[in-house]
Amino acid sequence: MSPLRGNSARGSLVGLSVKTKLLTACLAVALPLLLSSCGSSAPPQASADSATQAAATTPGVLVEDAWVRATVGAKDTTMTAAFMSLTNPGGTDIKLTSATSPAAGVVQLHEMAMKGGKMVMQEKAGGINVLAESHAHLAPSGDHVMLMGLKQALKPGDEVPLTLKFSDGSSHDLTVPVKAFSEEEEHYHPSATPTSTP
Amino acid sequence: MLGKDDPAASSTEATVVVRDIEPYGDHQPAVAAASPKHAELVALNLLSGTDRAALGRLMRLWTADIVALSAGRPAPGDTAPELALPGVALTTTVGFGPRVFALPGLARLKPGGLDDLPVMSHDRLQPAWSGGDLLLLVGADDPVSVVHAVRRLVADAAPFARPVWRQTGFWNGTGADGKPATGRNLFGQVDGTGNPAPGTPEFDSTVWSTDGPDWFRGGTTLVVRRIRMNLDTWDELTRSEQERAVGRKLSTGAPLTGSVEHDELDLEKRDADGRLVIAENAHARLSHHSTNDGRRIFRKGLNYVQDTGATRESGLIFLSYQADVAGQFLPLLARLDAADALNEWTTTIGSAVFAIPPGFHPGGWLAQPLLR
């Protein structure tokens, strides 16, 4: 019992310190960005003063390093995923509640989950939570923004407009680059699992 | 026990200095920063389908990569994210070669004088080291970080441009006392003493463009010359012959008429035999701004070695920043080509010129005022 506790305590400590370090590093870089992005996402009907106040106290979620996986060469070119890092420097959890894009018929927030011994992709109930003073990393084989019913194939070098909506009422309009990436491809094309055909 | 009494000295020894350089600013930040320990330059040519709009997409893509990599984060979609490290002072500088301004819509926005350099009489230019439509100059304290960043930036550029040359170099800008120093080329010369100091009005007026097209205010131009150095014949000289060729002392970089590195040159001083102490054809005289109608440049160097089997070529990747290539650099180049004593041991084998767009601020992107 005690060795187990010792291990888990050490494990979480390491995890915590790494997380804190990463957050500190990101915040240092992100602060100027936050200021500019908050101004634009403030509710238009609020007075300038109160908008500035709100921005200063609840800075909202910072979106960084967004990209979309290209569909060129994929078996199913009607869907793909967007990935990014979400940072919540505030003291209250904020959820990514929805996303939209003119490039896709349907956009959903997805997670990977074990079902019957198999890793499957499914819609994430309630959205993707970004804990207070922490990050959520949307990455291949983890949570992601699923773009379905693509209106055209996406090739590296293209850009996709993407709007994210958060539980604090803020929204972010992004222009996301399309990049080539092959890892975990089958996870996003569950119907096209590689077969043993030669 | 020496040094133990000095607490400052021992704490310097124990501290590993790590730093990140902000990617943002009115100017691309690496230009005025100290030379990186390790650097790679990549020139790329635009693919035929890359128009002004596509170049804008590439700049947005590179900006996001640069912001992430500068902070030690993987680039978006990084296939080797573990290679991204913070604290290595990673910087990326992006430039546009003259042909970029041949794209429809960009011709009238070309910075004045941004043309391929004329070929000098001592040049032996090789196409493999010359020209290019885009430049990436990546520097860091750590060579793994440089290689990783270049790999991401070149991979992300694949839909738009392909590499035509790559040059890898290194520089030691730290003195024996651990403080920033000018650094030395592979001849052993202190190299870059005459530079205007970043942060001074001389530096600003030398480097940053203030006229020309609006989008280019705060930009600069970069000349890249790959200079092969013949170390074998250089090593046959006596030290006084070597010092005479440059006009500076090898030990400190001080002018032959002075005692410390930054002493002003006395270009009139003669020895007991009536000969000029700093010779008529000494490099330091010919390149000094007082003999060039006040024209200055801001030059940086990167040493290189190029190995082919057991054969080594050594040289200097000469980097010159100036607001105006034609007005500041070309007259100097012509002067040095005509008379520089160092020409006997140096041969320029590569030459390229780039406009270095101004910097970008959070939420903005590289060359946005040109390409939006």
pLDDT digits 0-9 by tens, B273-285 = 999 999 999 999 9
What per-residue confidence (pLDDT) applies to B19?
Answer: 84
* Residue B357: pLDDT over 70: yes
Active site residues of B: 191
What per-residue confidence (pLDDT) applies to B16?
Answer: 56
Q: State the smallest CA–CA distance between residue B154 and chain A in angstroms.
A: 12
What per-residue confidence (pLDDT) applies to A17?
Answer: 31
| DSSP alpha helix (H) spans, A42-183 | 48-57
Burial class (CB in 10 A: 0-12, 13-18, 19+), A40: exposed
Instruction: Judge whether A169 and A51 are in contact, CB under 8 Å.
Output: no
What per-residue confidence (pLDDT) applies to A43?
Answer: 38
Chain A residue closest in CA terms to B81 = A139
Alpha-carbon distance values, A34 to A21, A26, A177, A189, B80 (Å)? 19, 11, 21, 35, 28
Q: How far apart are CA B135 and CA B166, in angstroms?
A: 10
pLDDT digits 0-9 by tens, A115-153 = 888 888 899 999 999 999 999 999 998 999 999 999 999
pTM, two decimal places: 0.85
What per-residue confidence (pLDDT) applies to A47?
Answer: 39
Q: How far apart are CA B213 and CA B110, in angstroms?
A: 7
Alpha-carbon distance values, B230 to B21, B91, B183, B187 (Å)? 36, 31, 19, 9
B chain contacts of residue A156, beta-carbon cutoff 8 Å: 156, 158-159
Length of chain B in residues, anyone? 372
Exposure string (b/e) for B3-28, b if CB count within 10 Å is 16 or more?
A: eeeeeeeeeeeeeeeeebbebbeebb
Q: Give the nearest partner residue to B57 out of A26, A37, A159, using CB atoms.
A: A159
Partners of residue B325 on adjacent β-strands: none
What per-residue confidence (pLDDT) applies to A114?
Answer: 87
A chain contacts of residue B22, beta-carbon cutoff 8 Å: 29
B chain contacts of residue A159, beta-carbon cutoff 8 Å: 57, 60
Q: Give the nearest partner residue to B61 out of A25, A177, A181, using CB atoms.
A: A177
What are the residues of chain B with a beta carbon less than 8 Å away from any beta carbon of chain A? Answer: 20, 22, 24, 54, 57-58, 60-61, 64, 67-68, 70-77, 79, 86, 155-156, 158-160, 361-363
Above 0.95 for ipTM, yes or no?
no
- Name the pairing type of β-strands A62-69 and A171-179: parallel
B chain contacts of residue A25, beta-carbon cutoff 8 Å: 71-72, 86
Site from A67, A173, A185 to mutate, B interface, most B CB atoms within 10 angstroms: A67
Q: Give the nearest partner residue to B159 out of A33, A69, A157, using CB atoms.
A: A157
**Of A188 and B150, more confident:** B150
| 8 Å CB contact of A29 and B71 | yes
| 8 Å CB contact of B54 and A65 | no
What stretch of H or E contains B363? none
Q: How far apart are CA B223 and CA B43, in angstroms?
A: 12
Average pLDDT value for residue range B72-84: 96
A chain contacts of residue B362, beta-carbon cutoff 8 Å: 32-33, 36
Q: State the smallest CA–CA distance between residue B159 and chain A in angstroms.
A: 6
What per-residue confidence (pLDDT) applies to A5?
Answer: 36
Instruction: Judge whether B27 and B208 are in contact, CB under 8 Å.
Output: yes
Question: Can you give the residue ranges of every domain in chain B?
Answer: 17-109+120-362
pLDDT digits 0-9 by tens, B25-47 = 999 999 999 999 999 999 999 99
> For residue B240, how many C-alpha atoms fall within 13 Å in the half-sphere facing its CB?
1
Nearest to A108 by CA among A58, A165, A55, A151: A165
Number of C-beta neighbours around residue A102 at 10 A: 10
Judged by average pLDDT, the poorest of A16-20, B227-231, B235-239 is: A16-20
Q: pLDDT averaged over chain A?
A: 74
Q: How far apart are CA B100 and CA B46, in angstroms?
A: 8
What per-residue confidence (pLDDT) applies to B17?
Answer: 61
Q: How far apart are CA A186 and CA A184, in angstroms?
A: 5
Three-state SS letters, B338-362: HHCHHHHCEEEEEEEEEEECCCCCC
Site from B26, B61, B361, B365 to mutate, A interface, most A CB atoms within 10 angstroms: B61
Nearest to A29 by CA among B2, B22, B296, B154: B22
| 8 Å CB contact of A67 and B361 | no
Site from B48, B51, B60, B73 to mutate, A interface, most A CB atoms within 10 angstroms: B73
